[in-house]
Amino acid sequence: MNRSTAAVANAFFLFLGVAGLIVQIVSGVPGFPDVPPGPFILGVTGILVLTLSARFRWILFLGVAAPVFILVGALLEGSFWGRLADVGDFGPFAGTALLIGGVIAAAACGVAAVSHAYRRVAVR
């Protein structure tokens, strides 16, 4: 079984979310722990999707769960709205836009990858 385009897109958007988190950390967004878990969660998931999803289809579920987990955490924490509203503070704005856009797109591509991997082929 080959890795689908949706699985590759899922991994790309997971890595985009990592880039967004790194931009936020580097630009000094307050409230990040010394070792934030988000880049590790998204990055390791992206690596697993790229390297193992062709062999183990269930890995694709991680490509949905990880970005949804990060997105729910961001929604519950809530401070990202202020960063998205302040375009003038470019670093935090760009990092947040990359993160939120990346995890939403990763979740959507993850669902498509799971759907592709588990679809039944019609027998005629």
pTM: 0.93
Residue type present at position 107: A
Residues 6+ apart with CB under 8 A from 119: none
Phi (first) and psi of residue 49, to 5 degrees: -65, -45
User: Where do the domains of the chain lie?
Assistant: 5-118
Q: Judge whether 118 and 79 are in contact, CB under 8 Å.
A: no
Distance of CA 120 to the CA centre of its chain: 27
Average pLDDT, the chain: 93
The CA distance from 16 to 10, in Å, is 10
Residue 37 pLDDT exceeds 80: yes
Nearest to 41 by CA among 20, 15, 61: 15
Residue 109 pLDDT exceeds 90: yes
